[in-house]
Amino acid sequence: MAARHVVIGIDSSTQSTKALAVDVETGEVLGRGQAPHVVSAGAGRESDPDGWWKALDAAVAATGLGQVAEAVSVAGQQHGLVALDKRGEAVRPALLWNDVRSAPQAAGLVEALGGAEAWARRTGSVPTAAFTVAKWAWLRENEPEAAARVASVRLPHDYLTERLCGTAATDRGDASGTGWWGADGYDEEILRLVGLERSALPVVLEPGAQAGVARSGGPLRAGTPVATGTGDNAAAALGLGLFPGQPVLSLGTSGTVYTVARQRPADPTGTVAGFADALGRWLPLACTLNCTLAVDRFATLLGRDREAVEPGGQVVVLPYLDGERTPNLPAASGLVHGLRHDTTPGQLLQAAYDGAAHALLTALDDVLAAGGESPDAGGRDADRPLLLIGGGARGRGWQRTVLRLSGRPVQVPTAPELVALGAAAQAAALLTGEAADQVARRWDTAAGPVLPAVERDEAALDLISRTLERARALQA
């Protein structure tokens, strides 16, 4: 029997690090590992970057194949601010993407550069509290002594890649979520605006490039090739072998809807973030802060299993338990509207599902249009399945909700951990010379059952939209 060639893909997410050891030829998962992260529960959302490194080491070791892997790649949660001193040590815990304390700084930056349209034109996106540029502005304003000690700024995947191989490198997919990177590279005017030196940032490598080789003392053999890595959504797009125009809805700690596009998005409303992908194309994307964890919280409050939903009723839930990004309401809290004596717990739980899915599904047409797609007269290409991925994708409650509110067929890929699988495809591409999405398509990673479309529940969507407008007015 021929010897197997093994690569490792790593997904360093908000809650944990997952590692997959994958056969380069077949895509078979040969080993798995996972280790948790600690996320603060205080005023903001923070994590110690050194904890990510320890989790990576544990997860790779748990695959049992770290010492025979021939290449590795790291995908990581987007936007997080890792601020390091001259010794490469964190000056404070990393500010995570879902920390909304930087909302005032985001609003100030939008105004300082000439408004949302100017930001969309220069960077493809309008910054919110999630973006790294706003978090850096928050740090300078609120913790100036810590900011003064910063010698370098990294994203989570940059930080881990640098610890693996010693190279200060990133890729265009993750860099595009910072707010200071545009189609022509780092934007010097924005860097001056926020008082950040270009020398503090990693070099942005070309798609398919190698960042370096693993150093001794880590979880891999010294000399193992290390790919550039990328952000988690760009990695999932690789893991699916995504074609331009294929819509994806990811259900995790956050909810995202995106596609791969040939043209650069620039949505001045800020609904669609004009991210780059990991291959030289673009990844128009809409993101919500509150997704599976918010629905699970409602299930816990109601004392019900998350699948114990019931149809009917007129109750609406806007589950903005951590503020919200889409719509951009960082100071919002959860809202229950239309509660009656005859509202059942199951109806209330179903309303939480509907509220969490609403923003993503109503943004889908904007995402496709920003990527240059031409939806049909009804606003949708009803024959193209919506790829449903992430931790919630196999839940029947989520599947039924997405079917009912999208009006589309829904395909649920059976491949596990698509972010880590995308990172594995990127690592395999270093060995085979293929593009990473071609590797994933050869592995048939998007295969899975297709659930037939049902009639779109326009009444429910309209009810949620009207409630949202009332909530906006209350916040204003």
Positions annotated as catalytic residues are: 232
What beta strand segments (E) does 277-334 contain? Answer: 282-288, 316-318
Q: Are 178 and 171 in contact (CB under 8 A)?
A: no
Return phi, psi of residue 92, to 5°: -165, 170
Nearest to 273 by CA among 5, 78, 441, 62: 78
Cα-based angle 73, 281, 22 (whole degrees, multiple of 5): 25
What beta strand segments (E) does 259-300 contain? Answer: 273-276, 282-288
Strands 386-389 and 410-411, sheet pairing: parallel
CA torsion angle 292 295 297 300 (round to 10) = -120
The C-alpha atoms of residue 384 and residue 399 are separated, in whole angstroms, by: 16
The CA-atom distances, in angstroms, between 133 and each of 105, 108, 322 are 9, 11, 20
Burial of residue 222 (number of CB atoms within 10 Å: 0-12, 13-18, 19+) = exposed
